Amino acid sequence: MSNTSSYIRIDKVSRRYGAFKALDDVSLDISKEEFIAILGPSGSGKSTLLRLIAGLDRPTEGRIHFEGKDVTELAPHKRGIGMVFQEFLLFPHRTVRENLAFPLRMRNEAKAEIEERVEWVAGILSLSTMLDRYPSQLSGGQQQRVALGRGLVARPTLLLLDEPLANLDRELRQEMEIEIRRYQKQLGIPFIYVTHNQEEALSMSDRIAVINNGRLEALGERQAIYDHPQTPFVARFVGKSSKFQGVVQPDGATVRLARHDYEFALPPDKKFNPGDAVEIFVKNERFDISSKQDGGVGIPSTVVDVVLRGPFLEYVLETDRGDTVIAVKPKRNDPIPIRERVLLSWNPADCHIFKDGADDARR
């Protein structure tokens, strides 16, 4: 992405607390009308990055630009952002209407304009009937919508969302995921969505930035992040997968698992030296299960349990070496029975292989 087309530009930003690097040399360009998820485990630095963009904290190094303007030293209230917090943080002493009007009043908008904007945002978020209630009189989902409305009402340059769905129950969360994505497409401003929940990141965003240990681990289209992880961390963190240890055989073209009697051919695009120790990640839905009688190859295992997940079946398998592996398959009317002996394998093109210790070597 070129310098001029990026709407939000985060340029080599670091944040240190004493000797601790909360954020280390992160660069990120965000275009207008983009929904970007910042995904990372807790303590990875993703919230620090969000606070830097919001202006609630200052970077130790690096610059932040909005629409070509350097805002690094600008106070939060001068940045024209909207923000939605995990704990909602609605003003408890103000009604819904006053909460929604707050950002507009802070910008000293005219009374008529404030009323019009509040009506508008209450309309798109279905809050019109509860404008005179206090936040404590609302359900969690309603409070969430008010928080979202407060973030959007004053035409922000961008909306920052800090794990906004973490306090909602599962059903409501899935509903809100669709809603939030719809608002973003409707409003045409970038949404920066911080989460530790990879499912949320995958279901809502256009691009995903994976943060780990203060560093930008990966950045790309969500499909690419999911299907072609570039580092072992991303392979482990995005999607649900199982990890195996293996060794590249002397021919340099096959990998043999360390704990299991299973060999498979290296995909042609993977280059390793004979004798290299490697880590292999296989997504749960990429496993093949064949029955023992068919005489195929694979890791000999036993079906321990079958969990029905709507249109999918989750087979809980125990390998003969005692490891538990979960394999996800489309629902069938005749699932493999519990205690059945099976062989577990995968298409070599579908797994992700990294040199052992690649995570550590990068640090």
Partner 1 sequence: MQDANLQRRLILDIPTGFLLLFFVMPLAALVTLSFWQTENYKIVHEWTLMNYGTLATERAYITFFLRSLVMAIGVSVTLVALSWPIAYFIVRYGGRYRIIFSLLLVIPFLSGEVLRLIALQGMLGPAGLVNGALIRMGAAPLRMIMYSNAASFIAFIYLYLPLVVTTIYLSLINFDFRLAHAASACGANRFRIFTEVVWPLNLSGTIVGFMLAFIPTLSASLVPRFLGGPNGTLYGMSMAQQFGESGTWALGAAMGVVLFLFSAIALAILSYGVDLRRTGFTGLGRQ
Which C-beta is closer to partner 1: that of 90 or that of 353? 90
Break the chain down into helix, strand, coil percent, rounded to 5.
30, 35, 35
Which C-beta is closer to partner 1: that of 56 or that of 168? 56
Alpha-carbon distance values, 215 to 194, 221, 239 (Å): 15, 18, 20
**Alpha helix stretches (DSSP H) within the chain:** 46-54, 96-106, 111-124, 140-152, 170-187, 198-204, 222-227, 232-237, 358-361
The answer to whether the CB of 125 falls within 8 A of the CB of 178 is: no
Least distance (Å) between residue 183 CB and partner 1: 18
Terminal Cα distance for the chain, rounded: 26
Amino acid in position 175: E
Interaction mask 19-58, partner 1, x per CB under 8 A: -----------------------------------xxx--
Which C-beta is closer to partner 1: that of 83 or that of 176? 83
Which C-beta is closer to partner 1: that of 8 or that of 160? 160
Residues in contact with partner 1, counted by CB under 8 A, come to a total of 28
User: Residue 32's closest CA among 178, 216, 156?
Assistant: 156
Is there binding between residue 93 and partner 1 (CB under 8 A)?
yes
Distance CA 159, CA 182 (A): 14
The answer to whether the CB of 281 falls within 8 A of the CB of 242 is: yes
Segment near partner 1 (CB under 8 A); pick from 134-142, 199-207, 258-266, 301-309: 134-142
Interaction mask 142-181, partner 1, x per CB under 8 A: --------x---x-----x---------------------
Least distance (Å) between residue 155 CB and partner 1: 11
Per the structure block, which two tokens stand in for 35?
Answer: 């929904």
Which C-beta is closer to partner 1: that of 93 or that of 170? 93
The answer to whether the CB of 186 falls within 8 A of the CB of 5 is: no
Q: Which residues pair with residue 301 across a beta bridge?
A: 319, 342
Sole binder of partner 1 in the list 41, 62, 76, 267 (CB under 8 A): 76
Which C-beta is closer to partner 1: that of 107 or that of 111? 107
Which C-beta is closer to partner 1: that of 104 or that of 201? 104
Segment near partner 1 (CB under 8 A); pick from 13-21, 90-98, 310-318, 349-357: 90-98
Q: Which residues pair with residue 192 across a beta bridge?
A: 36, 160
Phi-psi region of 7 (alpha: psi -120 to 50; beta: other; left: phi over 0): alpha
Least distance (Å) between residue 54 CB and partner 1: 6
Sole binder of partner 1 in the list 12, 69, 107, 155 (CB under 8 A): 107
Sole binder of partner 1 in the list 94, 181, 243, 329 (CB under 8 A): 94
Which C-beta is closer to partner 1: that of 56 or that of 124? 56
List b or e across 130-141, with b for residues whose CB sees 16 or more CB atoms inside 10 angstroms: bbeebbeebeeb
How many angstroms from the chain centroid is the CA of residue 215?
A: 15
Is there binding between residue 89 and partner 1 (CB under 8 A)?
yes
Which C-beta is closer to partner 1: that of 81 or that of 210? 81
Least distance (Å) between residue 113 CB and partner 1: 14
Is there binding between residue 81 and partner 1 (CB under 8 A)?
yes
Sole binder of partner 1 in the list 12, 69, 77, 240 (CB under 8 A): 77
Is there binding between residue 75 and partner 1 (CB under 8 A)?
yes
Distance CA 227, CA 72 (A): 35
The answer to whether the CB of 244 falls within 8 A of the CB of 54 is: no
Which spans of this chain sit near partner 1 (rule: CB under 8 A)?
A: 54-56, 75-77, 80-83, 85, 87, 89-94, 102-103, 106-107, 134, 136-137, 150, 154, 160
